[in-house]
Structure 1
Amino acid sequence: MYSTSGAGPKEVASASTPSADDALFRRISWRLLPLLFLAYFINYLDRTNIGYAQLQMQETLKFADTVFGLGATVLFLGYVLFEIPSNVLLTRIGAKRTLVRIMILWGLASAATAFVTTPTQFYVARFFLGMFEAGLVPGALYYLTLWYPLERRGRANAIFLMGAGFAPILSGPIAAGVMTWLHGRGGLDGWQWLFALESLPAFALAAVTLLRFDDNPGKARWLTPEEKSHVQALAQSGNEGRDAGHLGTALRQPRAWGFGLVCFLTVLGIYALAFWQPTLLKSMGLSLIQIGLVSSLPAIAGATASFWMASHSDKRRERRGHFTVAALVGAAGLTTAALLQQHLLIAMVGLVFAGAGLASALTLVWASVGEVLPREGLAASIALITTCSNCSGLVGPLLVAAIRQATGGFGWSLIILSGALLLACVAMQVILWPSKRISSPMSVPARHL
């Protein structure tokens, strides 16, 4: 039982036992987190499947590389422009209706991409996809603050954000299978089937969200009145006056801008490879099925390496040296793939090392943010860093497309991305200087893009 009569947040929290709280939040997690994980997983697939679809779209629609690069860019333009308006709307209509609206509209935009025939139609479809999906990540993270106290919120956020980390592992095999086995069926090309079929899970998730989600604990019919009050009290405790605004403080923090630069330079390579790696592999002579299978290897390496590096960094209580190793490994991998593209096996080893280094580096950046920046204005600082990170999506894919069209290959673009990682390495040394030891490890998931 939870005694709530006349009790404030602290009193309510103390009236329960740790084991009872663990059981309660276990129920909440099983109710909320699997669907949120799947939502981000499907969202990442729909955002990046253009990297595989373009392998056939170029043959049927005759789009130039710059068309696909600009298409990737306008998606992030819609994302950046409508992220804040989406969250404002969330506060007015509630989290459940906001998430349902996002899922239905992004599913429609993804499905509509299957029927584009001109570059303009392609740009419009991509822009609307970015606009509609813009509120998913901040909306879900805000939603979790309504349910979880501070000491449990990090783990809940991590499970949600892991959806985007697992998506690249399966996106290649799924895309290759659909585009190969359904090509020509029903008068549609394989890339059209890809957009159409990968939009369906968004509608299914919207239906499940409508049935199973509640705007806040107070509206959860599967909780007792005592549990509702207890969860709300715990979720609110510790939030009073915490980082309320302080945007001016964040803007005056040189290290916040420094972390933003490091994230931009690191994510530049992540998004560039996400959209162009399939085309790069095709240029090495791989078939569609081979591309789908092989493209999973860098993602698997990234997930494995980032987990190991974060754990080792926590254990050693050190960030700067670990980031240096990760960035150098990623840069070496990109350079190897650039210089030895004609040697398939060596180039693939390079891409695997690039995936491991990029993912690990980004994990270590976010692990350092909460340890280096002051608590005042930390939320605003994180928002600033995230915005800088997302801006890499406006640059990376289009940069690779322009360089490939000008040079006829991917070599120079990979070299430039390698240089960006080295520059990030230098910036990270400055940000963390002179202290490289940390006082309280705080691992934060890497895949918030």
Structure 2
Amino acid sequence: MNEISSHDAADTSPAAPGSLDAIYRKIAWRLMPMLFLGFVVSYLDRSNIGFAKLQMQSELALSESVYGLGAGIFFIGYFLFEVPSNLLLHRFGARRWIARIMISWGVISALMFVVRGPLSFYALRFLLGVAEAGLVPGVILYLTYWFPASRRARMVAMFYAAVAASGIIGGPISGGLMKTLQGAHGLSGWQWLFILEGVPSVLMGFVVWRFLDDSPSKAKWLSDDEKQLVSARLDPPQLVHTSTFNAFVDPSMWLYTAVYFMLCAGIVGVGLWMPSLVQATGVHDLFLIGTLTAIPYLVAIVVMILHGRHSDRTGERRWHIALPMLVGAIGMTLAVRFSHDTTVSLIGLTLTASGILSATPPFWSLPVARLSGRSGAVGVAMVNAVGNLGSFVSPFFIGYTRDITHSTSTGFYSIAVGLCLGALLILMARVTHAVPGRSDTSAHSLRDQPLGGRT
């Protein structure tokens, strides 16, 4: 968490020297470990199906299309309940609602061990999406209650580093559990995988219930002066909608949704198929597959934090989104083109994970800058919900085309093209940026730059 202590010139001028850095460091150390660990277990529970596939697909006689649909149907439940979930979080508070989300999805994730065929597979994956809906947009919205725009990308980067962290620890753990517990007490290794990886989510739910504070005003561990300093530097939105659902008619929000669709299609498509891609290069030991899949995420976690920090320091967002998306597309192409070479394929997967994950934190700085209050909750949830349909489309499309062509090439090349399109869209947008060197109290005076303008 050293990046928390970096000094923004914008933050140190109106208050005592260094005082804001100390306050925000204190806030980050209090909140971010809980949010980070919560997202680690969340991503582990939604993506461990990629490892379970290595055993359960043959045991339950599931086709590639069935697997792809079941893996992706999670995001249909996710899509349908995102906006209602975020509105309930705004109404009841982050502590209670995020805790509810974690406990319910942990229970459903553990129940995946009862899957016996396509229908039960589809039903439980759908319910898992319903239970988990609201976590990501809820946390993105929650961070706006604490951090100004000039500090937010690095906080989102720390939160999204959980995706990489779940890959780092989840791969070896998942592979190891499936290998060592196969047949224990009459259960297959994939069944033990779901049971044992669902428990931490329930435990984290109780931790959040006990220690997470809804806003600075309710934080007993902040002094009155600290609360005032933090509240004074929260930036006003570019647009304040009086109607809850006016977010749905904002063209910029739909452009952001399209870009996020491409990002989700990329990271979920790769994440859910990465164990299979590594296995296809000639690696068959489950623990070794898990260990190798940790490498792309290990690199990505470093790159995305440094990238988010640089985006905050410069105040630039568009190129910090577009360039990593292009890198992700190049990496995906390499991974597929050299699918029988373990080393080159891993390099490609590393570029893909690093690129897509690094683009995500700067991306979220854009939609949250436009809206506030209930409309902000709806807008962020809308972008995440509709964008996450890409997470449904990509695994289903990859599985379907693989059943037809007996190759993943068509699916992954299509996703690479989508990433390039998303990069082009974000460069064409007129978006707001924080101006480095200005006080947080000016909300980071916002500016609008045309394509090619200096940001």
TM-score (norm 1): 0.80
- Corresponding residue for residue 262 of structure 1: 259
> Does residue 303 of the first structure (1) align with residue 313 of the second (2)?
no
C-alpha displacement of 1:143: 4.2
C-alpha displacement of 1:414: 1.9
Distance across 2 between alignment mates of 1:56 and 1:132: 25
- Corresponding residue for residue 118 of structure 1: 117
C-alpha displacement of 1:430: 3.0
> Does residue 78 of the first structure (1) align with residue 67 of the second (2)?
no
Alignment partner for residue 294 of structure 1, among 292, 295, 300? 292
**1:332–1:418 contact (8 Å) kept in structure 2:** yes
Distance across 1 between alignment mates of 2:319 and 2:298: 23
Residue 388 of structure 2 aligns to a residue in which SS?
helix
Which protein is bigger by CA-based radius of gyration? 1
1:179-202 Cα distance to aligned partner (Å, 9 max, x none): 111212121111111111111111
Distance across 2 between alignment mates of 1:139 and 1:88: 9
Work out the percentage of aligned pairs sharing the same amino acid.
36
The CA RMSD over aligned residues, in Å, is 3.7
1:38-437 correspondence runs (5 A): 38-146=37-145, 156-216=155-215, 227=223, 231=227, 234-235=230-231, 243-245=239-241, 254-287=251-284, 288-310=286-308, 325-363=323-361, 365-366=363-364, 382-431=380-429, 434-437=450-453
Residue 295 of structure 1 aligns to a residue in which SS?
helix
Distance across 1 between alignment mates of 2:389 and 2:230: 35
Structure 1 residues 61 and 232, CA gap change in structure 2 (3 angstroms): farther
Q: Which AA in structure 2 matches 1:352?
A: T
**2:262–2:418 contact (8 Å) kept in structure 1:** yes
- Corresponding residue for residue 4 of structure 1: none
Q: Which AA in structure 1 matches 2:301?
A: A
Distance across 2 between alignment mates of 1:344 and 1:360: 24
C-alpha displacement of 1:117: 0.7
Residue 62 of structure 2 aligns to a residue in which SS?
coil
Query: 341-350 vs 266-275, which deviates more?
Result: 341-350
The runs of 5 or more residues in structure 1 that have no matched partner are 1-13, 440-449
TM-score (norm 2): 0.79
C-alpha displacement of 1:103: 1.7
Structure 1 residues 353 and 165, CA gap change in structure 2 (3 angstroms): closer
Query: 38-47 vs 429-438, which deviates more?
Result: 429-438
**2:237–2:371 contact (8 Å) kept in structure 1:** no
**1:332–1:350 contact (8 Å) kept in structure 2:** yes
C-alpha displacement of 1:361: 4.1
Query: 323-332 vs 340-349, which deviates more?
Result: 323-332
Distance across 1 between alignment mates of 2:322 and 2:90: 41
Distance across 2 between alignment mates of 1:97 and 1:213: 9
C-alpha displacement of 1:105: 0.9
**1:319–1:436 contact (8 Å) kept in structure 2:** no
1:286-316 Cα distance to aligned partner (Å, 9 max, x none): 1212210111122233333334555566677
Structure 1 residues 155 and 310, CA gap change in structure 2 (3 angstroms): closer
